[in-house]
Structure 1
């Protein structure tokens, strides 16, 4: 850390010189304007007024025809989430048809365009302006999708609705798309302090936002797992006994109310509501105990296995919702309310 002395200019003004290396790095000159922003801890952030969010970051990924799709996907996602605007994928020989299809699918999922494509390389570019993406609105949209999936889950289970279960599974892609976009926004903001003012997001909000985004994604994944298990029950022509079905529906309905309250507590920074719903989690243990008692009497191993899996996924959803409620309490404390 470099230290510099304050110099008096006139009777009451104090000034400090900027490091020459930093000035050169940002291509600043006499009479240029810099922005100043006071941070929550009292420190002062200095950055060029030029928009740094849209600054170009480019990377080239080299792959082979034998590289598996998972490896290619992980590399592209890693650079995307860390703020790279242009990602060039180059093959040592020729991109296979499957690799080209994969890259196009990823570009669509990540809101990127294919700006150049040959037999051996494809170039993906993000044209999104992160400063135009409202964090709270996007989080609410992500929540709304998963909330509707949760509601449809009850209907699908109650009516053994195969088409509805398939629709629930298909919505997971939309949740993933929002998740990648928001993770990119939040990681970029944390990595580049100068973007905080432009994006109108504080570091604390970034950390809370990361927790909520990740847990909403976990909730969606577990909802999809349950929908797939319901599809299995339907396809095998099985039906849950009436009493067991009612217990599962009750578990779902309590989970939906829990989710709605936790997210509202986060958006409104309501720690009192968060504490209240966290203390109400005993209802899930009570229903779970009744489900286990019921399973002892069941003869069909398919029903027993499906119920255990669904119950496990519901407990994972409750855990994720609890973390959202806890994030609301942390957000409240950081706001000093």
Structure 2
């Protein structure tokens, strides 16, 4: 930690020198404004809200000898690491252009600006300071509620065609959840690395971190709905077993609604109830697991157990964010 001496300036002011490296790295000069914030006996010094525009980050991705899965991982990773320009270079005729375009289209704010026979360039056109993290959480919540309801319907539906429609709808909404998750991850990381972004969002580092935890839990719950629906479609179980699953599933839906209510209203009593009742839900899953006679049915129960664990963690996040 660097120490600086406080010096008196005139009769009513005090001054302190700033590290030259910090001044240079932020391209500051005499007369520039700085932002001061008092916090628990400390003073946080940062660049003013009229901060100079940061240079754009660019990355080049070569597709040579790479699977589409590998390319997707690199593109998504670059997006999550806040690259503004992503250039994808081809070697010869690239036959996977539709798949690569689909990867880019599934990343909010990323637009294809240039395409030739040798490369494709995508640019982030979204202003992260205009993204509302709380609105993202509410949007993910709304989507999840419909996914859970459709997931429950999968266990009572007997018409194969209708079951397939339910499964497709859940899968498509999981893609929406993923898009929102990726967007929020990018925005929150930007805000944590650049304090002016956080101030523009109206969130301090702890609020950003807490929101990131909630969003992660929601994304995991979405993944579980997709897997449960696909497993239900492909498994053959008795009507009695499916009815038992449906009852457990409905109880988890109720607890999910409760925990999100506790989050929005900061209701600790509800959060504690969801937390302490989780063991009963896990026990119910374990009992039904003993009655499962196939790998698919066992995986359904495992995903339900994971779902209730994520619900429990949301309740812990609510409890843990109290002042």
8 Å contact kept, 1:8–1:14: yes
**Per-residue deviation at 1:331?**
0.9
8 Å contact kept, 1:208–1:331: yes
Residue 83 of structure 2 aligns to a residue whose secondary structure is coil
**Per-residue deviation at 1:128?**
0.8
The 10-residue stretch of structure 1 (73-82 or 25-34) with the greater mean CA deviation from structure 2: 25-34
Residue 116 of structure 1 aligns to a residue whose secondary structure is strand
Match runs of 1:192-271 below 5 Å: 192-233=194-235, 238=236, 240-271=237-268
Partner of 2:296: 306
For 2:286 and 2:82, locate their aligned partners in 1 and report how far apart those are by CA, in whole Å.
46
TM-score norm. by structure 1 comes to: 0.86
Asked whether 1:316 is paired with 2:313, we answer no
For 2:79 and 2:300, locate their aligned partners in 1 and report how far apart those are by CA, in whole Å.
34
**Per-residue deviation at 1:227?**
0.6
Asked whether 1:55 is paired with 2:54, we answer yes
Asked whether 1:133 is paired with 2:131, we answer yes
Residue 195 of structure 2 aligns to a residue whose secondary structure is coil
Match runs of 1:54-93 below 5 Å: 55-91=54-90, 93=91
Partner of 2:107: 110
Partner of 2:8: 8
Change (3 A) 1:39 1:56: farther
Structure 1 outlier segments of 4+, above 6 Å: none
Partner of 1:152: 150
Change (3 A) 1:142 1:40: farther
Unaligned runs of at least 5 residues, structure 2:
none
TM-score norm. by structure 2 comes to: 0.90
For 1:64 and 1:148, locate their aligned partners in 2 and report how far apart those are by CA, in whole Å.
38
Give the root-mean-square deviation of aligned CA atoms: 2.2
Asked whether 1:46 is paired with 2:55, we answer no
Change (3 A) 1:41 1:253: farther
Partner of 2:35: 35
For 2:261 and 2:41, locate their aligned partners in 1 and report how far apart those are by CA, in whole Å.
28
Change (3 A) 1:325 1:196: same
- 2:274 equivalent among 267, 277, 282: 277
**Per-residue deviation at 1:201?**
1.4
Change (3 A) 1:37 1:73: farther
**Per-residue deviation at 1:74?**
1.7
Q: Aligned residues, how many?
A: 318
